[in-house]
């Protein structure tokens, strides 16, 4: 990877993604295999005027060893210094930059129930802190090619070549071209036209149908908007892009009101475990049945993580001919695969989609029908023959998707 190209990507993440402002604090979470990119991101943040950039290093290998060797009660301990960090985040509201480069099979062999219990235990403590800073800071998730991830996407290809091929795909789908700033400005304008039209329809519910067996209805929250692309911080008024890449127009549906069955069209990487060829059935708004050819245990643990994990927090529309899907690649990474085709998400919904959300507390917003959970997991259901029909409050029938793409 050329130094100049990697620097351009790092600047895209810091400027278009987090949109770091003068005097702001920044926290970068990144794997130890991405030291060069991390250095360029830190440099870009300081160039934009950041006051201080903190780096939190991660490691797939160390995490796996820790979960296999440490006792459950030790893993569930939440030390005082971690509580102090949560208080720091609430006080400083740093821009949060997350770089994804993990091996999709990183946690193979780890006890799924043990991992889930640790996450559940920790989130009980973290969630009250997180709720206090929700919607108040900029954040961005972006990808970076690593040898293990590249070998998963391009099996049989020599490692160095596979890494370069994955980098090419990441940069292309991230619109990191000659003028990425301009490209993202135009892309956000297109997404805005889409979600503004959907907001004008006054939709009651959506009906999804596909030849693979998907036959599913989900009701809209009348208090929630559709959104896509960039977002604006509640207190700061700063516009930023939380996902690079991003092709979706999305909303949070009415919690607890969905019926029918959906079939996955791409594998799901959850907690380092792959779930493949699965279906999820809903009754009275909740998951009542799941089946997976691979990863059944992980899928069951996921939907039982907490009460909200069995309900939907997001409906996202992505055309089948998205730039990510047109690569023909399966990325085995939710950030990319969710932006390839239409998807749904179990768990936590987006309170900032409530009209006038800034006037309410997080607790009040959840009571308005946005799903509350400790997790948010996207799974892909888009296909070339997926049709989505919208039914409005005044009884009109509107084509939203036809044959896998926008009908408007």
The pLDDT tens digits of the residues spanning 295-316 come to 999 999 999 999 999 999 999 9
Could you give the percent of the chain with pLDDT greater than 90? 92
Instruction: Report the pLDDT value the prediction gives residue 259, as an integer from 0 to 100.
Output: 98
> What's the CA dihedral at 199, 351, 341, 392 to 10 degrees?
-30
192 token code pair: 């805005």
Rounded CA separation 54/25 (Å):
8
Tell me the average pLDDT across 217-234: 95
Nearby residues of 77 by Cβ (< 8 Å), 6 or more positions away = none
Determine phi and psi for 91, rounding to 5 degrees. Answer: -80, -50
Contact status, residue 392 vs residue 398, Cβ threshold 8 Å = yes
Say yes or no to pLDDT of 235 above 80: no
Strand, helix or coil for residue 273? strand
First to last CA, the chain: 39
Cis peptide before 314 (omega within 30 of 0): no
Rounded CA separation 29/315 (Å):
27
The pLDDT confidence band at residue 100, using thresholds 50, 70 and 90, is very high
Using alpha carbons, select from 397, 384, 401, 260 the residue that is nearest to residue 317.
401
Say yes or no to pLDDT of 270 above 90: no
Nearby residues of 123 by Cβ (< 8 Å), 6 or more positions away = 374, 375
Render pLDDT for 251-265 as a digit per residue (tens, 0 to 9). Answer: 999 999 999 999 999
Contact status, residue 27 vs residue 96, Cβ threshold 8 Å = yes
Say yes or no to pLDDT of 272 above 80: no
Instruction: Report the pLDDT value the prediction gives residue 162, as an integer from 0 to 100.
Output: 98
What pairs with residue 143 in β-bridges?
A: 100
Rounded CA separation 283/261 (Å):
9
- Vertex 32: Cα angle to 30 and 37 (nearest 5): 60
> What's the CA dihedral at 205, 211, 212, 213 to 10 degrees?
50
Rounded CA separation 81/384 (Å):
49
Instruction: Report the pLDDT value the prediction gives residue 226, as an integer from 0 to 100.
Output: 98
Instruction: Report the pLDDT value the prediction gives residue 289, as an integer from 0 to 100.
Output: 98
CB half-sphere exposure, 337, CA atoms < 13 A? 23
Question: What's the whole-number average pLDDT of the chain?
Answer: 96
Enclosing H/E stretch for 255: strand 253-263
Contact status, residue 166 vs residue 145, Cβ threshold 8 Å = yes
Question: What domains lie within the chain, and their CATH numbers?
Answer: 3-173 (3.40.1830.10), 199-406 (no CATH)
Enclosing H/E stretch for 149: helix 147-153
Rounded CA separation 158/155 (Å):
8
- Vertex 221: Cα angle to 218 and 223 (nearest 5): 165
Say yes or no to pLDDT of 234 above 90: no
Render pLDDT for 12-70 as a digit per residue (tens, 0 to 9). Answer: 999 999 999 999 999 999 999 999 999 999 999 999 999 999 999 999 999 999 999 99
Instruction: Report the pLDDT value the prediction gives residue 1, as an integer from 0 to 100.
Output: 78
The pLDDT confidence band at residue 11, using thresholds 50, 70 and 90, is very high
Instruction: Report the pLDDT value the prediction gives residue 287, as an integer from 0 to 100.
Output: 98
CB half-sphere exposure, 60, CA atoms < 13 A? 19
283 token code pair: 């009754």
Signed CA dihedral, 217, 195, 223, 378: sign only:
positive
């Amino acid at each position: 990877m050329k130094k100049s190209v990697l620097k351009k990507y790092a600047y895209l993440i810091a400027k278009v993604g987090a949109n770091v402002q003068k005097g702001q604090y920044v926290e970068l979470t990144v794997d130890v295999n991405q030291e060069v990119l991390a250095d360029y991101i830190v440099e870009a943040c300081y160039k934009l005027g950041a006051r201080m950039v903190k780096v939190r290093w991660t490691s797939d290998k160390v995490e796996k060893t820790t979960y296999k060797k440490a006792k459950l009660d030790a893993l569930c301990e939440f030390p005082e210094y971690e509580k102090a960090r949560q208080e720091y985040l609430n006080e400083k509201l740093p821009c949060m930059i997350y770089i994804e480069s993990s091996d999709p099979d990183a946690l193979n062999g780890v006890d799924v129930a043990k991992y889930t219990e640790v996450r559940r235990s920790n989130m009980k403590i973290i969630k009250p802190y997180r709720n206090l800073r929700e919607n108040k800071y900029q954040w961005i998730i972006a990808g970076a090619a690593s040898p293990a991830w590249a070998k998963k996407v391009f099996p049989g290809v020599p490692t160095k070549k596979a890494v370069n091929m994955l980098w090419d795909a990441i940069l292309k789908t991230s619109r990191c071209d000659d003028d990425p700033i301009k490209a993202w400005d135009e892309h956000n304008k297109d997404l805005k036209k889409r979600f503004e039209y959907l907001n004008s329809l006054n939709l009651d519910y959506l009906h999804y149908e596909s030849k693979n067996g998907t036959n599913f209805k989900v009701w809209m929250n009348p208090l929630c908007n559709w959104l896509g692309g960039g977002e604006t911080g509640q207190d700061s008024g700063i516009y930023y892009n939380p996902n690079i890449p991003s092709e979706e127009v999305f909303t949070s549906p009415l919690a607890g009101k969905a019926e029918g069955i959906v079939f996955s069209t791409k594998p799901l990487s959850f907690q380092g475990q792959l779930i493949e060829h699965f279906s999820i059935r809903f009754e009275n708004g909740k998951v009542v049945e799941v089946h997976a050819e691979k990863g059944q245990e992980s899928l069951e643990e996921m939907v039982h993580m907490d009460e909200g994990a069995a309900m939907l927090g997001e409906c996202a529309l992505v055309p089948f001919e998205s730039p990510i899907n047109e690569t023909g690649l399966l990325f085995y990474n939710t950030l990319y695969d969710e932006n390839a085709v239409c998807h749904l998400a179990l768990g936590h919904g987006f309170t900032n989609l409530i009209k006038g959300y800034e006037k309410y507390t997080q607790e009040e917003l959840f009571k308005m029908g946005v799903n509350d959970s400790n997790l948010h997991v996207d799974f892909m259901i888009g296909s070339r023959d997926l049709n989505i029909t919208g039914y409005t409050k005044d009884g009109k029938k509107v084509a939203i998707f036809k044959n896998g793409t926008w009908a408007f």
